[in-house]
């Protein structure tokens, strides 16, 4: 087997050196900063931007991406949990960090220690935070999540009165923000988002009626940022937009509208090299359970990437990759570490050739957006599947 030491990154003047399995991801920090600036221009400078970097920045790498976004001027970061927030703090990030899905009892001291901002999703959580802040003799800011129709996390709008009563007994806490989350802001064929917006505004009016300042009001996710200006409020929360991807809209023509308004640059490419070529006769089964059988004499290439790397199993016998400027099919079941592709129609193919699993290669592209649609999932699902063992090279 050949010894592979280099991965040629698109647009780089020199090869990127690494040792080990020849599978890697290329991530353009410049593209992420470009997308951030587009969002900033789109919403105006009077609103804040919370950059969502949960899930290892959607697989792109939380720390390098967050540092690039900090340089671009993000106001906040959004993470899922305390551990993700601490990772950013230990990397030197100073911006406010919001724990989007709240916290577990017992994490209060670490929230204070690392200057994280918790989201309260149940009124009982206020007691935990108040106790920790009192012991630390500090004031602690928190954001409140209101369930307006997502039916997951958040207090019920009808509990506004009880919230105010409990909060009055928590002198060490300050309501610094109030938020909700849209279930289907990309869907314009029914009124769910309008209903959620109405419920949220009514809740805010209840707070104002009893002279409780809601703090920063925020609700707009990526789809709402792109197409629903009436939801932008004080701060917006881009996720997929930062990494270069719009949502699929209903009706579909909305996608063309928002793509023209926000011409995003996808940030990620996933590539591997061919490590083995096999010439097989017709009638040979390939991979687990022989789910693919050659129908003609075939040249089959093996690449060292599987579902533990981000080449998801749902692409078995349906997906395509790019080799030497041609799209070729994935054949057989995608396994954890290896995938087989049919390169019979690429006569010049050789061991060591680069295979583009996601991203652009010359005139051809396998966008995560399009691949996700082919297998019936969302782009974020595909991006977050990128395995931790895949080396990431950051292009500036």
Q: Which is it for the CA torsion 63, 69, 70, 76, positive or negative?
A: negative
| Helix ranges (DSSP H) in the chain | 29-43, 54-58, 62-72, 82-90, 108-113, 125-136, 160-168, 192-209, 222-227, 240-243, 253-261, 368-374, 379-384
HSE-CB for 381 with a 13 A CA cutoff:
13
Taking the CA atoms of residue 382, residue 384, residue 386 and residue 388 in that order, the dihedral angle to the nearest 10 degrees is -170
Q: Which of 6, 17, 48, 54 is catalytic?
A: 54
Region of 49 on the Ramachandran plot (φ > 0 left; ψ -120 to 50 alpha; else beta): beta
DSSP state, residue 15 = P
Angle between helices 29-43 and 62-72 (to 10 degrees): 40
**183, 150 Cβ separation under 8 angstroms:** yes
Strands 140-145 and 117-120: parallel
Active site residue 288: yes
Q: Of 225, 285, 227, 286, whose CA–CA distance to 253 is shortest?
A: 227
**371, 358 Cβ separation under 8 angstroms:** yes
Q: Which of 114, 243, 265, 288 is catalytic?
A: 288
Active site residue 71: no
Kindly list the distances between the CA atom of residue 12 and the CA atoms of 258, 271, 325, 394, in Å, as whole numbers in the listed order: 30, 15, 19, 11
**332, 291 Cβ separation under 8 angstroms:** yes
Q: Please spell the DSSP secondary structure of 74-123, one letter per residue.
A: -SEEEESSHHHHHHHHHTT--S-EEETT---TT-HHHHHHTT-EEEE-ST
Question: Residue 24 is encoded by which pair of tokens?
Answer: 């890697």
Active site residues: 54, 288
């Amino acid at each position: 087997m050949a010894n592979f030491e280099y991965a040629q990154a698109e647009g780089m003047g020199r090869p990127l050196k690494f040792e080990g399995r020849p599978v890697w991801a290329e991530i353009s920090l410049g593209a992420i900063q470009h997308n951030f600036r587009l969002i900033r221009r789109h919403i105006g400078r009077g609103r804040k931007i919370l950059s969502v970097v949960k899930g290892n920045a959607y697989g792109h790498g939380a720390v390098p991406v967050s540092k690039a976004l900090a340089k671009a001027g993000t106001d906040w970061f959004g993470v899922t949990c305390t551990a993700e927030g601490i990772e950013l703090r230990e990397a030197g990030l100073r911006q406010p960090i919001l724990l989007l899905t709240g916290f577990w009892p017992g994490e209060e001291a670490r929230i204070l220690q690392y200057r994280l901002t918790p989201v309260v999703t149940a009124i009982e959580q206020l007691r935990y935070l108040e106790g920790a802040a009192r012991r630390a003799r500090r004031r602690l800011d928190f954001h409140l999540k209101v369930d307006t129709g997502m039916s997951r996390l958040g207090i019920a709008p009808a509990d506004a009165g009880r919230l105010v009563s409990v909060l009055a007994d928590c002198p060490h806490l300050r309501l610094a923000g109030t938020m909700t989350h849209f279930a289907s802001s990309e869907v314009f064929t029914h009124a769910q988002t309008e209903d959620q917006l109405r419920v949220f505004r009514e809740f805010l009016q209840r707070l104002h009626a009893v002279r409780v300042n809601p703090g920063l009001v925020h609700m707009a996710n990526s789809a709402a940022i792109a197409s629903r200006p009436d939801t932008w409020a004080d701060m917006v929360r881009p996720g997929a937009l930062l990494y270069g991807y719009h949502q699929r809209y209903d009706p579909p023509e909305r996608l063309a509208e928002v793509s023209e308004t926000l011409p995003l640059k996808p940030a990620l490419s996933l590539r591997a090299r061919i490590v083995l070529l096999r010439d097989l006769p017709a009638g040979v089964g390939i991979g687990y359970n022989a789910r693919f059988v050659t129908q003609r004499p075939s040249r089959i290439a093996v690449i060292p990437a599987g579902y533990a790397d981000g080449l998801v199993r749902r692409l078995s016998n349906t997906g395509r990759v790019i080799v030497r400027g041609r799209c070729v099919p994935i054949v057989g079941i995608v396994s954890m570490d290896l995938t087989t592709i049919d390169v019979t129609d690429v006569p010049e193919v050789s061991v060591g050739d680069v295979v583009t699993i996601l991203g652009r290669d010359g005139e051809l592209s396998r966008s995560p957006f399009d691949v996700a649609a082919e297998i019936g999932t969302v782009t974020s699902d595909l991006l977050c599947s990128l395995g931790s063992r895949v080396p990431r090279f950051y292009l500036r």
